[in-house]
Structure 1
Amino acid sequence: MNETVRAYDLDARAYAVHAPPVPDAVRADLEALAAATGEGARVLEVGSGAGRDALLMEQLGLAVRRTDVTPAFVDLLRGQGHTCDLLDPLTDDLAAPEGPYDAVWANASLLHVARDDLGAVLARLAAVTRPAGILRMSVKEGDGDGWSTHGSIRLPRHFTYWRAGPLAQVAAAAGWSEVSVRSGIPGTRGEAWLALSARRGQVVA
């Protein structure tokens, strides 16, 4: 278990208690996702955390598969009566018995993935998403990577920062098309975020 997962595992309940309401930008992205996929669309959520986004997705009519790499978050959501799978998107089987997902939602979760591993993760997500299915993800905007201690998580967590152009290139190389990245989205501590949207490219026989 890497140090970032350990940090979340230690303070998962505090993180849940202090989680802010859904930001307007995230709510708008979720509403757009629901409108684009339709009632009952199946969404793989990577990094469900305390479960805030999944609840809104369900209110919008989506069927969400909750997953997280942190055992304490999985236990927390299961304790609330939700099904949640312990899942590492880099190494675990992402497929579902029902078939490909209609969309993938990864809000502020893949920012912990090492730069050299993100392409592999996005390719694995593409492989379990139907052709023309949707990807929505967000990461912190910036250069390089580093450790940060802030908020309700007491131990340092590792973050990989991205610029719009390189992030779009990685997504396109991983099998996603119609890639667009919005930059400069303000965070709560003066940081800026990138929001990427894309569609699964057509599978060539």
Structure 2
Amino acid sequence: MRDDDTVRAYDLDAAAYVANGPVLPDSVRADIEAFVDLLGPGARVLEIGSGGGRDARLMESLGLRVRRTDVTPGFVELLRSQGEACDLLDPLVDDLSSPEGPCDAVWANASLLHVRRDDLPTVLARLAEVTRPGGVLRVSLKEGDGEGWSTHGSIRNPRHFTYWQAPALHTTVVSSGWSEVSVRSGVAGSRGETWLELSAVRDGVSP
């Protein structure tokens, strides 16, 4: 996942990003609620890109157990300062396994969009390795073509983004150890952009 300039950009402005972050969108809240309904109380979720911890706090309030992770030291330090456990992990290269064994689901909301196109299959396959058969994957990525650098919001320095179209993303996920792949396109963002919302099941028995 790691692009050092992107990680550094978040690290420099981690506190501002969290302080000025948008209210949880209704679409994300609805997706989390559906996620909880699917998994059931007590399910273990590996979150990739916890940021300020917004999504994890809602999931936990609804009965899930969340392992927070982030590649940005500033986010990890902020969460730990608030009494929330968070692991500093890069899903491309670091050990994602847990002493508790495979997780029931992976949640990656607007985080894997920084992964280079050629690296995404590796990341998805590594996530599949630490998810139980029948476990669930939820990912959101920016819709579009190519890749590029962008400066917006409270992050002052440029960040690298990879944009995806639904057919190519579907093919990539299927080839990485996931099945029952569904990609919803054209999800409206807050700045006129559109998003892809992906769900999949770890190869094996469905939940």
- TM-score, normalised by the number of residues in structure 1: 0.98
1:50-89 to 2 correspondence within 5 Å? Answer: 50-89=52-91
- Consecutive unaligned residues in structure 1, runs of 5 or more: none
Q: Does 1:91 align with 2:93?
A: yes
1:12-51: per-residue Cα shift (whole Å, max 9, x none)?
0000001111111111111111011100100000000011
Aligned length: 203
The one-letter code matched in structure 2 to 1:50 is G
Misfit runs of 4+, over 3 Å: none
Matched with 1:142 is: 144
* Identical-pair percentage: 70
* Distance in structure 1 (CA, Å) of the matches to 2:124 and 2:158: 25
* Distance in structure 2 (CA, Å) of the matches to 1:180 and 1:24: 20
* Distance in structure 2 (CA, Å) of the matches to 1:171 and 1:26: 21
Alignment equivalent of 1:201, drawn from 197, 200, 203: 203
3-state SS of paired residue (1:73): helix
Instruction: Please state how far the C-alpha of 1:202 moved relative to its aligned partner.
Output: 1.8
3-state SS of paired residue (2:144): coil
* Distance in structure 1 (CA, Å) of the matches to 2:113 and 2:139: 9
1:149-185: per-residue Cα shift (whole Å, max 9, x none)?
0000000000000000100111000010000000000
1:95-154: per-residue Cα shift (whole Å, max 9, x none)?
100010000000000000000000000000000000010000000000000000000000
Matched with 1:40 is: 42
- Consecutive unaligned residues in structure 2, runs of 5 or more: none
- TM-score, normalised by the number of residues in structure 2: 0.97
Instruction: Please state how far the C-alpha of 1:60 moved relative to its aligned partner.
Output: 1.1
3-state SS of paired residue (1:116): helix
Matched with 2:21 is: 19
* Distance in structure 2 (CA, Å) of the matches to 1:14 and 1:35: 33
Matched with 2:161 is: 159
* Distance in structure 2 (CA, Å) of the matches to 1:116 and 1:26: 27
